[in-house]
């Protein structure tokens, strides 16, 4: 675990389903340190859960690759970043049938975020999926 400061936090997680819960826990601990940021917790935990789940389940990478998770408070908003070693860009699945057990994650990220996106990692292989969560909820 690595703390960048009171307004930012980053850590590395293994590509395992347990990392989803760990990311939520780290986010809760991060937001508890900042007065007034509890309004970001509920939507933030849902968004980080979906982004880390996508990195664990869908990123096709070699064994041993880790996921980086970064949180930052910017002008009253929470920026969540998930870095993985896959260059495959995410695609929102607009239509999921009631029987589908998955396929709604990015739709949920879009609904709960002020804005979100994907960018190549500047330091090399892979991508960054980011979302900006505000106290007012999604756009």
pLDDT digits (tens, 9 = 90+) for 32-86: 998 888 899 999 999 999 999 989 887 776 666 889 999 999 999 999 999 998 8
Q: Cα angle at 108 between 104 and 112, to 5 degrees?
A: 180
User: Please, which pLDDT band fits residue 15 given cuts at 50, 70 and 90?
Assistant: confident
Architecture category of domain 2-133 in CATH: 2-Layer Sandwich (3.30)
pLDDT at 129: 95
- Alpha carbon distance 60, 16 (integer Å): 13
Question: Does the pLDDT of residue 112 top 70, yes or no?
Answer: yes
Domain range annotation of the chain? 2-133
Q: Which of 125, 28, 33, 32 is nearest to 80 (CA)?
A: 28
How far is it, in rounded angstroms, from Cα 49 to Cα 112? 12
Q: Say if CB 47 and CB 88 are below 8 A apart.
A: no
Q: What is the pLDDT of residue 1?
A: 45
The structure's pTM equals 0.86
CB atoms within 10 A of CB 6: 10
């Amino acid at each position: 675990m690595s703390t960048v400061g009171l307004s930012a936090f980053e850590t590395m997680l293994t590509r395992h389903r347990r990392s989803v819960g760990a990311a939520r826990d780290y986010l809760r601990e991060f937001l508890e340190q900042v007065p007034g940021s509890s309004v970001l917790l509920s939507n933030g935990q849902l968004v980080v859960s979906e982004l880390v789940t996508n990195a664990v389940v869908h990123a096709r990478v070699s064994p041993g690759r880790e996921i980086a998770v970064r949180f930052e408070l910017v002008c009253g908003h929470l920026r969540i970043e998930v870095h993985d070693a896959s260059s495959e860009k995410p695609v929102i699945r607009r239509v999921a049938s009631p029987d589908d057990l998955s396929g709604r994650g990015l739709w949920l990220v879009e609904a709960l975020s002020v804005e979100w996106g994907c960018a190549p990692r500047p330091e090399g292989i892979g991508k960054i999926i980011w979302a900006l969560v505000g106290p007012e909820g999604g756009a």
